[in-house]
Structure 1
Amino acid sequence: MYLAYRVLYFVDFVYMHDFIYFRRYFFWGISALLMLAGFRGSTAAPMPPPDSLAFYLARPALPDTMRVKYLILASFYQQSNDLAQARQYSEQALALARRIGFKPGTASALETLGNAHYYAGNYPQAQRLFLEALALNKRLHRQRGVGNSYLGLGNVAVMLYDRPKALQFFARAQQAFAAMSPPSANSQILTLNNIAGVYLEAKNPAKATQFYRRALALTSPDTEPRLTVAIRRGLAEQQLAAGNPDSAQTHLNQGLALAQKIGEQWEEAGLRALQSRLALRRGHPTGALAQARQALHLARQAGHAAEEEDALRAMAAALAALGRSEAYDTLKSYLTLHDTLLARDRADAIIAGQARFNDAEQQARIRSLEQQERLARQAKELAHLRYNQKLWALSALAALALAAGGSLLWLYRRRQRAREQSLRRQIAADLHDDVGSLLTQISLQSELLSQGVYGPEQQERYLAHMAEASRMAVRQMSDVVWGLSQPGHSPTLGNLLERMREHAFEVLEPTHLGINFQTAPELKTLALPASNQQTLFLIYKEALHNATKHAKGATEVLVRLQQLGQSLQLEVRDNGQPGASDASHPGTGGNGLGNMQARAANLGGRVAYEAAPGGFCVVANLPLG
């Protein structure tokens, strides 16, 4: 009885942990294969096989762009054999691509080098490389590269145990792959499988099944076979857990047929171990034992420890059901292997946690330096204004000497002083409203930490809060600088509308709020002064913040921008339920609504708000001139 209890305990409770352990490394590892397929499809000349790459790389007349591509391919081929060599190839490709100005090659080399550091467990460095690749791919409008970069960032977030961030990155990767022409089905399937894996780790099988089914709907004869096998295995696992053995058997049969066809022994081993569990559930211990033995044989041939563990566990359960004495020895073998893998997983978790802590500290320092750089740019802008003022003053004095135009000089200098004072006030107000509170929060938390009264866990939590506050301050600073500089180069609303859409996605997605962004096409070419654009954007940000903070029960935020005569009207409305929204009380939430009204009044506009049965609405009207 004790032996049977031990077997059932590990079958029912430990299996999910080990199944996730396998899933994590399967899904993350196959990412490189699809990235390789996409890169090979983008080359102008056929790519050589792995054993010919050394010959091609040694050719002295090889064009530099092709050398970059061959180096990247060599790195891909080495990532499963020699990570140090793979990293060396990627670094050579990156250095050469940067030297010759080959930007697509630079982006691909950054992705490959990020993968090499990721597989080596250097997650902070991998994260930095993926972020750099993402920025370059966006500038080059390379949708596949954007998707690959988000995929890499999601993988890093998973290893750092940041599931919300991982889901956010995977969702953006899915959007990028779907936006390709034609859409990349394999990459979308892989991303959906990764999302399902995250939900499995979060013990949410219903959500995992939902994304497995979405991935299955995208499969076709051209789908990467190992992806299809993984989908079938995941669905079979979920159907078995849900008490649907017939559906589980259907997915198992299809997965086994495909695994045997492509000759992947470790995948077949995992499926047969699951088949053993299903047979035992149906009351066929003899068949379960036969499937478990076959799974163990395949797993050992493939040298796959995780699948060997699954097979041993299934065999122990079958032997116990048959009352065989070998069950005890089989269970001991399973427990020994399980403890080894679990200890390794815990060691990986400790390393990942330490990397996350160090990375947060490093990112906080980087954000602080970026903030200082932006402040220096603003000071440089003020100096440039003074320099222009002096030049115009000299010109005006010359005109006065020639044509007695002293009045023109006086009017110009007065206008320049007014513009400079206005810019000073605007910068000071924006920095005080948007950044001052965050910096005060960081200062107070740093003082508390310096006193040394908190334990290690509390210190880590406060440091994480400080890092997040630093990132928010940098984003606010970036918005202020963007609002002052960008419209000067683009007097129309095109860039502003793009910025507003991007900000809505960043703010609303983490809170699971949908966005309904409605603008007329002609607004992209509508001219609006720089100050009006900046004020519009800051009011828009405050309204979105109000919705995310106070719109309880809301599922969507409507943003409507339209021209009404000689004014521009912005409407931000949430669908929170009556009485459930904090925003239904105008005084709730600090000075947000008052700040919006003050900003609009400075331009001769106005801001109104209303709490209606359909939710809370903020309406801003700003003049066009």
Structure 2
Amino acid sequence: MKNGYVRFAIILSLLVSTQAVGQVPKSLDSLEVYLQTHTATDTNYVNALLQLGKLTTRTKANYDRADSLLRAAEKVAIKLQFGLGIYQANTYLGANYYLWDKPQQTLDYLQKALTIAKANKLPPRLLANAMTNLGTAYRNMNQHEKALAISLSSLRMQEQYAILPRNENTYTGIGLALKDTRRPREAIEYFQQALVLNRQLKSPYGMAITEQNIGRCYDNLEQQAKALAYYRTALKHAKESESDLLQADILVNTGLALRKVNRLEEAKHAIEQALAITTKQQIKSAMATDYFNLGQVYEELKDYKPAEQFMKKALHLAHELNDKNKIGIYTQGLADLYGGMKNFQQAYAFQLERNQHIDSMTTVRTTAEVQRLVAHYKSQQKQDQINLLRQQAQIREEELTNKRLQTNALLIGGLLTLLLGAAVSAWLLNRARLRRLQEAQTLRKQIAHDLHDEVGSTLSSISLLSGMVKGLIAQNRPESVERAIQKINTDARQILEAMDEIIWTINPGNDSLHRIAIRLQEYAQPLMESKGIRFSLVAEPALEGLPISMEVRRNLYLIGKEAINNLVKYSQASQATLRFEHQKEQLKVVIEDNGRGFDPAQPSQRTGQSSMQQRAKAMGGTLAVQSTPGQGTRLQLVVSQ
């Protein structure tokens, strides 16, 4: 499970030094003394409250106390008509709620801060900072496109006004928006620029956060060695900044990366260190994450007793927090754990609870998505019908005009020619409209067919098996219960995969060859790794801008998926390549391996070849399979664009 309990994904510009009037102490203790010995009569008092509130958030994670201090600072700043202080108070409040994991309040305060900055005509640097902070709030609400747009606007403002040094958090915000939209390589470029700026500022805190973000990108790219190197450096800088929470965040990510490369003892030690910090700070969401991650490490070590204890603690805390997402993840984790322990009764109980959770959430998501699609297609259908009626009316009008013009012998030849051309054009346009209507109807039928075939039958199977398991338990037949539960688990995962594929297929945002290439890479990578096959994807950069229709995308993805499955199952290869090329208005997709090969003329274990040929033909393309026993296999699909 990815760590997300400490919200250090981006460090808001409020958490670095800001402009202030006068001098105030810098340490927590000296600030407390200052506030006790001074009265709320000047801007220095406001700045002291702001500084104390910031440090209380950053170093102590005492969000209630920080909230009180910052609200007091805002009240005094309003009384003094101190515009900068009002802006900073709202910005710091937004940051406090950001780390407190309250997204809506974060967004409200940071939007208010930007409005205050504009109303008080604060300097362009502060306006740019306010926009960067608002980008963080949008990202926190999973509005990644808005986050990217406003962060880029902030960067353009800094360039326009020649603001130097640039705000390192702007680059971090852009990097995180790119990372969240699965573009880690592009994200790394912006994180590196943020790292350079943090080094210039000599900010170990900022360096630690940026280095951790780079590590996460390499983690996503499955380059754990590079990820661990950045995590080590980030931890060193986090210690220099004396931020316990940031150290815990980095430690748990280090543990997850070590677990991926099977360095389990080291992973356990790193997560235990993170848990010690979060337990001391009593941050329950963080503790739940650490308990679960630690339980999974013990599970892989086959030390089931502590694994069970840690996962149960995680689930208990998730229920306390009413965190439905974590409840679902931890319930599934316990079901899998009990299955490995061969405690099938407990495994069944937790799996049933998890399946009910998935079914309810899937039903809501699926219903909403289908309703949206149906509404869209009905709207399109009505518009097409209106356009069709207009064309028919136009044709009738032209026919009447034709009859009148026939009485004029001098113009009959030319007019007949013009009318013939208009009639043919209208007829062709009418055919195009009808074809689009038919395509919309076909799409709706395809969605309904996929939902029925992929989901309906599997849910029926799960329902029957669930009823059967109860009887098997009563009959004390553990072997049969285990098989039934394994089948239920497999069917449930198939439903999730099927729904994911259906929604991915109909999403217009995926209408590019680059998206298909990435999707197939994500599907192939874990399968190849499970068989020890070195896998590489070669895709031309030009693919990013090449759109394709939904039907071609769907068939192309299914052909690639079938070919990858066959390769993994039967090839016994040590190396495989998936290559996308675009030349002379033709798309060429090649999947090849160095495995044992086979004789295409002889009956083969490899399934789905006829289905792949049919899909290639439906796209107007050709599919060629070349293979020789002992010399590998090469599959080539060519489609005209």
Return the alpha-carbon distance in structure 2 between the equivalents of residues 481 and 346 of structure 1: 38
Structure 1 residue 400, shift from structure 2 partner: 2.0
Corresponding residue of 1:90:
106
CA–CA separation in structure 1 for the residues paired with 2:520 and 2:631:
20
2:430 counterpart residue number: 413
For 2:494 and 2:595, locate their aligned partners in 1 and report how far apart those are by CA, in whole Å: 30
Which of 183, 187, 203 is matched with 1:176 structurally? 187
The C-alpha deviation readout for 1:557-613, integer Å capped at 9, x for no partner, is 32222223xx4032231435225x99998865654x444433443454322222366
Q: Is the CA contact (8 Å cut-off) linking 1:193 and 1:215 kept in structure 2?
A: yes
Structure 1: distance between partners of 2:83 and 2:596: 64
Residue among 497, 501, 510 paired with 1:475 = 501
CA distance in 2, matches of 1:232, 1:419: 55
The residue number in structure 2 matching 1:364 is 362
Which residue is 2:519 aligned to? 503
Q: Identify the residue that residue 590 of structure 2 maps to in structure 1.
A: 572
Q: Percent identity?
A: 13
Q: 1:187 to 1:585 in 2, by over 3 A?
A: farther
Q: Tell me if 1:601 matches 2:617.
A: yes
Q: Note the 1:60-79 alignment, pairs <5 A.
A: 70-71=89-90, 73-74=92-93, 76-77=95-96
> Residue 390 of structure 1 aligns with which residue?
389
State the alpha-carbon separation in 2 of the partners of residues 365 and 138 from structure 1.
31
How far, CA to CA, are the matches of 2:485 and 2:377 in structure 1?
Answer: 34
* 2:595 match: secondary structure: coil
User: Taking structure 1 as reference, are residues 452 and 578 closer, same or farther at Cα in structure 2, changes over 3 Å only?
Assistant: closer
Shift of 1:182: 0.8
Check if 1:620 corresponds to 2:618: no
* Closer, same or farther: CA 103–445 of 1 in aligned 2, 3 Å: farther
Partner residue of 1:559 out of 561, 566, 579: 579
Q: CA deviation at 1:547?
A: 4.1
Equivalent-residue separation in structure 2 for 1:209 and 1:188 (angstroms): 17
The change in CA–CA distance for 1:546 and 1:345 in structure 2 (over 3 A counts) is closer
> Shift of residue 364 of structure 1?
0.9
Give 1:104 shift: 5.8
Name the Cα RMSD after superposition: 6.0
1:516 aligns with 2:541: no
User: What's 2:70 paired with?
Assistant: 53
* Alignment correspondent of 2:208: 186
The Cα of 1:396 is off from its aligned counterpart by 1.9
- In the alignment, which residue of structure 1 is the partner of 2:124? none
CA offsets 1:255-310 (integer angstroms, 9 cap, x no match): 9xxxxxxxxxx989x99xxxxxxxxxxxxxxxxxxxxxxxxxxx99x8999xxxxx
String of CA shifts for 1:469-527, please: whole Å, max 9, x gaps: 245325324423529xx8xxxxxxxx613423442344234444744233264x6677x
User: Hey, what's the Cα distance between the residues in 2 that align with 1:181 and 1:267?
Assistant: 28
Distance 1:423 1:394 in 2: 24
After superposing the two structures, state which structure 1 stretch, 220-229 or 434-443, moved more.
Answer: 220-229
Superposition deviation, residue 370 in structure 1: 1.4
In 2, Cα distance between the equivalents of 1:53 and 1:176?
33
Q: Is the 8 A contact 1:192 1:214 kept in 2?
A: yes
1:399 and 2:420 are equivalent in the alignment: no
In the alignment, structure 2 segments of 5+ residues that lack a partner are: 22-46, 54-68, 119-129, 153-170, 196-206, 284-304, 319-325, 330-353, 404-418, 474-480
Kindly indicate whether the alpha-carbon contact (under 8 Å) linking 1:508 and 1:548 is maintained by their aligned counterparts in 2: yes
**SS state at 1:546 partner:** helix
Q: Which moved more, 1:593-602 or 1:369-378?
A: 593-602
Deviations 1:130-150 (CA, angstroms, capped at 9, x unpaired): xx2446445667773476589
Which of 548, 554, 557 lines up with 1:538 in the alignment? 554
* TM-score (norm: length of structure 1): 0.53
Q: Deviations over 1:308-362 (max 9, x none)?
A: xxxxxxxxxxxxxxxxxxxxxxxxxxxxxxx999967632245557443375344
Cα separation, partners in 2 of 1:590 and 1:388, compared to 1, 3 Å: farther
Relative to structure 1, is the Cα distance of residues 393 and 68 closer, same or farther in structure 2, using a 3 angstrom cutoff? farther
Counterpart CA distance in 2 for 1:510 and 1:66 is 52
Verify the 8 A CA contact 1:606 1:622 in the aligned structure 2.
yes
SS of the aligned residue for 2:193 comes to: coil
Are residues 1:144 and 2:166 paired?
no
In 2, distance between residues paired with 1:65 and 1:590?
69
Aligned length: 448
Change over 3 Å in CA distance of 1:303–1:502 after alignment to 2:
closer
Structure 1 residue 32 corresponds to structure 2 residue 7: yes
Deviations 1:156-188 (A, max 9, x none): xxxxxxxxxxxxx9x976873455351546346
Residue 374 (structure 1) shift: 2.0
Secondary structure at the counterpart of residue 49 of structure 1: helix
CA contact (8 A) 1:551 1:582 kept: no
Q: Does 1:550 align with 2:566?
A: yes
Distance 1:506 1:431, change over 3 A: farther
Q: CA deviation at 1:390?
A: 1.4
Question: Counterparts of 2:175 and 2:281 in 1: how far apart (Å)?
Answer: 32
Higher relative contact order, chain-length normalized (CA < 8 Å, sep 6+): 1
What is the distance in 1 between the residues matched to 2:19 and 2:633?
55
